[in-house]
Structure 1
Amino acid sequence: MRQIREELAGITDTAVAAVDGLLIAADTGRRIDSEGLAALAAAGLGLAQRTVAATERGELRRMVTYGSQGCAAVYPVGEIALLVVLGDEGLDVDLLHEEFPPILDRIAAILTDEA
């Protein structure tokens, strides 16, 4: 998890959670409640997936929420988990989206014992 944060400037925190919101792993600071973050991300991802399905937009790739001090991106990891990436105002979100597909594949392989 720490390697993910170190590879792209602007990433401040990361977490992997099961789709039911249970925390699997986290690299977060003291101010972030990792378990609460996992639960919120799972709920948001579920809503985003339903929205994409209801509007016939294909398969959800990611959900991104922007705030005044940065953003939170949530990526599905197969059908079993999700990856949350928190970034500050310096995070290049377009680069994040380009760089993350292989990372998501690696996380999926680890979680399904295919690594």
Structure 2
Amino acid sequence: MSTVHQPEPLVEVLTALREQVMGVNETVISTVDGLLVASDADAVQPESIAALSAATHSLGRRMAQEAGGGELRDVSTRSAGRHVVIQAIGERALLTVLGDDGLDLAGLQREIHSTVEQLAKILEADAPA
């Protein structure tokens, strides 16, 4: 886990996702501007993942617009031995899921929507009035 002080409820939701879906190794929540909000990560630099996720999501959203595909649902990247899935949490935050080659993609698709809803509620409650 990163040594940065993080909001406990967010980390609990991230940990639950990792425990529920086989192959999820690490998770990061960031702002759409690329700032780290919270993470459940050991092997990656959460701050770097946050910044790269924001850039990747922005490019994916632009590509979806240009391709006429409507609103972007998520951005997925697969490399040798690694999956990265970036999902919007409302308009201001992103959830990035890093998984190994054995990532249960169907399980992730089942769980990610309820996870995003939980995270959105927590983030909304913490937002300044």
AA aligned to 1:13 is E
CA offsets 1:49-94 (integer angstroms, 9 cap, x no match): 0111122211111111001012000001111100000001111113
* Correspondence 1:19-30 to 2 at 5 A: 19-29=32-42
Instruction: Please name the residue that 1:103 is paired with.
Output: 115
Alignment partners' CA distance in 2, 1:4 and 1:25 = 14
Instruction: Please name the residue that 1:44 is paired with.
Output: 56
* Correspondence 1:1-115 to 2 at 5 A: 1-29=14-42, 31-113=43-125
Q: Provide the alpha-carbon RMSD of the alignment.
A: 1.2
Count of paired positions:
113
Deviation at 1:109, TM superposition (A): 1.2
| TM-score normalized by the length of structure 2 | 0.83
| TM-score normalized by the length of structure 1 | 0.93
Q: Which moved more, 1:3-12 or 1:93-102?
A: 93-102
CA offsets 1:16-60 (integer angstroms, 9 cap, x no match): 00000000000001x301000000001000000011112221111
Deviation at 1:95, TM superposition (A): 2.3
AA aligned to 1:44 is T
Gaps of 5+ in 1: none
AA aligned to 1:37 is I
Alignment partners' CA distance in 2, 1:71 and 1:17 = 18
2:17 touches 2:111 (CA, 8 Å); kept in 1?
no
Alignment partners' CA distance in 1, 2:17 and 2:108 = 10
Secondary structure in 1 aligned to 2:70? coil
Stretches of 4+ aligned residues off by more than 6 angstroms: none
Identity level (%): 36
